[in-house]
Amino acid sequence: MTSTAPIGVFDSGLGGISVVHELVKDLPDEQVLYFGDSANAPYGTKTPEEVRRLAFSIVNDFVRKGVKAVVIACNTATSAAVDALREQFSIPIIGMEPALKVACDRGHGVPQHVIVAATPLTLRERKFAKLMSRFNADNVIYKQPCPALVEIVEHGQLDDRELVERTLHGYFDQYDLETIDSVVLGCTHFPFFREYFRRLMPSSTAIIDGNEGTVRHLRVVLEALGKLAPEGAAGGVSLSNSDTSERMATLMEQLLTR
């Protein structure tokens, strides 16, 4: 396997395109194969066993295509499948988790009030419970499942401002937002709502996602293995989806350039 081999990136649907945005920006010489499993979305309401089965099928296909690493651009699939995938495959498998550490570290010792917005499965899996246990003694952490936000992206409704704002108010009006220090976007679909979150939250509230940290970790891993694409290599992105409709192909292209 050469350093110019592609990187496989997958998600339950379209959210992982937000990770591809970051990857293209930070590693422009890399070839990226993106697969969205929109025909089986959402993952966040499935059982862990169902998600693992789908993830193994996708990674097997990537390996047949000769990828040098896989990024699970999905917090839910990471929670359910990353450990099993790493046991099965010898290539690097890069997962994601809600950027709770980043949010809590912002306080520099001052307790933080943090909302973690994610899918129901991410928030109830053992992996998140373990992450949360590192920080909830010294901070106030609220778990907020937001499954409808995934559906809005998958149905191409991001520009339906009334729908998006009504959905966000339905989830977040229960909180005294003036007391919230950070909102963690714990699903890769959610960075597409960043401007909506910014309008909803006080200006003092940070809005944090894990995309930058994930791509930074990928760079470190590839560099350590001598697998970073050489400078000036012909980088690019190839998009595919289990929903093979023309509507889905158009939507993926729109999100990639959004």
What residues are annotated to the active site? 74, 187
Residues ≥6 apart with Cβ < 8 Å to 139: 104, 107, 111, 112, 113, 114
Question: Three-state DSSP class for 1?
Answer: coil
Tell how far CA 177 is from the center of its chain: 24
Which amino acid is residue 202, in one-letter code? P
Specify the DSSP element, H or E, that contains 147. Answer: helix 147-154
DSSP string, 29-45: T-EEEEEE-GGG--STT
Q: What is the DSSP string of 106-135?
A: TTTTS--EEEEEE-HHHHHSHHHHHHHHTT
Residue 20 Cα distances to 17, 74, 110, 142, 167, angstroms: 5, 12, 34, 28, 26
Supply 64's token pair.
Answer: 């047949």
